């Protein structure tokens, strides 16, 4: 007796040594077979034969010992049929990105090189705002290294509007996120002109404000200029000053406004929840901040376990793309108030706004195998030895700041 066995095109297979994982990218269901050499060998055979092959009676009996064929059908991972019942073996098809050895080259196609640019972050100035010099966290240079956050420095400087416009006018793609941060962007000398210019673009614009950056004689006149389609993000850290936040009350009620709480411990998370309830805030997220001494807090709130990993659905294309890149980094550049251009804010500058050649820069970042854009858990230790490496959240700034790629509870 022989069976014809095939794995559905939407199923992702990963293996390490004798462990094999089958993951249904539509339903999110998965099956993990540990320490099974036969299934590991079978998965290699499937890959070599377009994910369809014939298995004999000996193999069938061994597979039935671990309910492989039953699980295959129950979790919609594939199907099998007695070979005697079919005259011609069915044709198995896979998504082109799985079998195409030139998958990486698709990103490097000169004709579409600019399509790889996904996001530009402008720190238009680095000037401080309203009473923030007394706030400890805002003086911590690590703050902008973990997530989008203003950079406050002395002496102050700012990007010329003409140079910002010059960069944006070179971009001839439809989908792009542009993040506008300071320092305090209310202190930017050409903020009204900048907003008017950005309102004419078709890009997604995100404005970041620290809640202590409010300037009484200036902010109420500036905020209404921002298009109602653009996103305003208000950053809140601790200690919380209620009187300062109340200046934003009318703003937080508007659509397209999001609150981000920067938290370092459980007490701040509890306080943030009380603030949300007190002010009836709707669109809020928490940003854990690593301060060097709250590793246990991170283990509890940032590290993932097996259940967390399998609870997030990933498409087959997303999983394959994560083999060669990190979605947290790929296609993103940052330009600071000193005109430096970064592929990531944690690394040295890769260029300057004076001599920027966007197409060349993007090509270089995609072509350099050591580029942070191409940093992947599939390649980096110790994650490259984990069966869940592509289902796990990608490498992000948190991993860089903490100095470890495996922010998880997996062993």
pLDDT in tens, 60-99: 999 999 999 999 999 999 999 998 887 776 666 665 444 4
Distances (CA, A) of 178 to 121, 126, 148, 206: 6, 18, 12, 6
HEC letters along 290-324: CCCCCHHHHHHHCCECHHHHHCCCCCHHHHHHHHH
Q: Which of 88-97, 201-210, 325-334 has the lowest mean pLDDT?
A: 88-97
Q: Which of 110-114, 120-124, 224-228 has the lowest mean pLDDT?
A: 110-114
Q: Which two tokens stand for residue 234?
A: 């208000």
- Where do the domains of the chain lie? 2-86, 118-379+390-402
Read out DSSP for 224-273? GGS-TTSEEEEEE-SS--HHHHHTTHHHHTSTTEEEEEEESSHHHHHHHH
Q: Which two tokens stand for residue 65?
A: 């010992």
Answer whether the bond into residue 339 is a cis peptide, omega within 30°: no
- pTM of the prediction? 0.91
Task: Determine the average pLDDT of the residues in 135-143.
Answer: 45
- pLDDT for res 92: 64
Residue 102 has pLDDT above 70, yes or no: no
The 3-state DSSP class for residue 365 equals helix
Residue 108 has pLDDT above 70, yes or no: no
Q: How far is CA 381 from the centre of its chain?
A: 19
Q: Residue 410 burial (CB < 10 Å; 0-12/13-18/19+)?
A: middle
**Angstrom distance (rounded) from CA 301 to CA 45:** 40
Kindly report the CATH class assigned to 118-379+390-402: alpha beta
Give the whole-number percent of the chain exceeding pLDDT 70. 91
What DSSP character marks residue 142?
A: T
How many CA atoms are closer than 13 Å to the CA of 225, on its beta-carbon side?
17
Instruction: Report whether 54 contacts 2 (CB < 8 A).
Output: yes
Residue 125 has pLDDT above 50, yes or no: yes
pLDDT tens readout for residues 265-320: 999 999 999 999 999 999 999 999 999 999 999 999 999 999 999 999 999 889 98
Q: Which two tokens stand for residue 190?
A: 């050409």
> Helix 191-199 crosses helix 161-169 at what angle (to 10 degrees)?
20
- pLDDT for res 317: 87
- pLDDT for res 48: 87
The 3-state DSSP class for residue 173 equals coil
Task: Determine the average pLDDT of the residues in 123-127.
Answer: 94
């Amino acid at each position: 007796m022989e069976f014809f066995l095939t794995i559905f095109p939407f199923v992702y297979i990963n293996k390490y040594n004798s462990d094999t994982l089958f993951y249904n990218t539509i339903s999110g269901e998965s099956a993990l077979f540990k320490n099974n050499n036969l299934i590991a060998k079978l998965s290699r055979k499937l890959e070599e034969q377009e994910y369809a092959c014939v298995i004999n009676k000996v193999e069938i009996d061994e597979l039935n010992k671990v309910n492989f064929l039953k699980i295959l059908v129950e979790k919609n991972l594939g199907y099998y049929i007695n070979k005697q019942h079919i005259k011609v073996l069915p044709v198995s098809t896979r998504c082109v990105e799985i079998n195409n050895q030139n998958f990486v080259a698709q990103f490097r196609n000169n004709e579409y090189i600019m399509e790889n640019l996904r996001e530009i972050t402008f720190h238009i100035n680095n000037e401080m705002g309203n009473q923030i010099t007394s706030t400890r966290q805002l003086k911590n240079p690590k703050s902008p290294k973990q997530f989008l956050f203003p950079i406050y420095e002395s002496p102050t400087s700012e990007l010329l509007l003409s140079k910002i416009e010059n960069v944006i006018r070179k971009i001839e793609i439809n989908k792009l996120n542009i993040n506008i941060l300071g320092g305090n962007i209310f202190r930017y000398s050409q903020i009204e002109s900048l907003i008017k210019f950005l309102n004419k673009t078709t890009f997604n614009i995100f404005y970041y404000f620290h809640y202590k950056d409010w300037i009484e004689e200036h902010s109420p006149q500036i905020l209404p200029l921002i298009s109602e389609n653009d996103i305003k993000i208000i950053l809140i850290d601790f200690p919380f000053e209620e009187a300062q936040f109340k200046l934003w009350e009318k703003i937080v009620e508007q659509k397209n406004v999001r609150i981000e709480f920067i938290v370092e411990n459980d007490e701040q998370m509890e306080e943030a929840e009380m603030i949300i309830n007190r002010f009836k805030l709707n669109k809020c997220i928490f940003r854990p901040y690593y301060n060097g001494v709250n590793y246990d807090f991170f283990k509890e709130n940032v590290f993932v376990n097996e259940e967390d990993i399998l609870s997030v659905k990933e498409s087959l294309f997303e999983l394959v793309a994560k083999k060669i890149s990190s979605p947290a980094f790929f296609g993103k550049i940052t330009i600071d108030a000193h005109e430096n251009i970064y592929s990531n804010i944690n690394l040295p500058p890769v260029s300057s706004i004076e001599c920027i050649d966007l197409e060349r820069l993007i090509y270089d970042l995609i072509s350099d195998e050591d580029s942070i854009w191409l940093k992947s858990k599939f390649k980096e230790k110790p994650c490259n030895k984990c069966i869940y490496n592509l289902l796990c959240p990608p490498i992000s700034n948190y991993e860089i700041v903490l100095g470890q790629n495996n922010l998880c509870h997996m062993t």
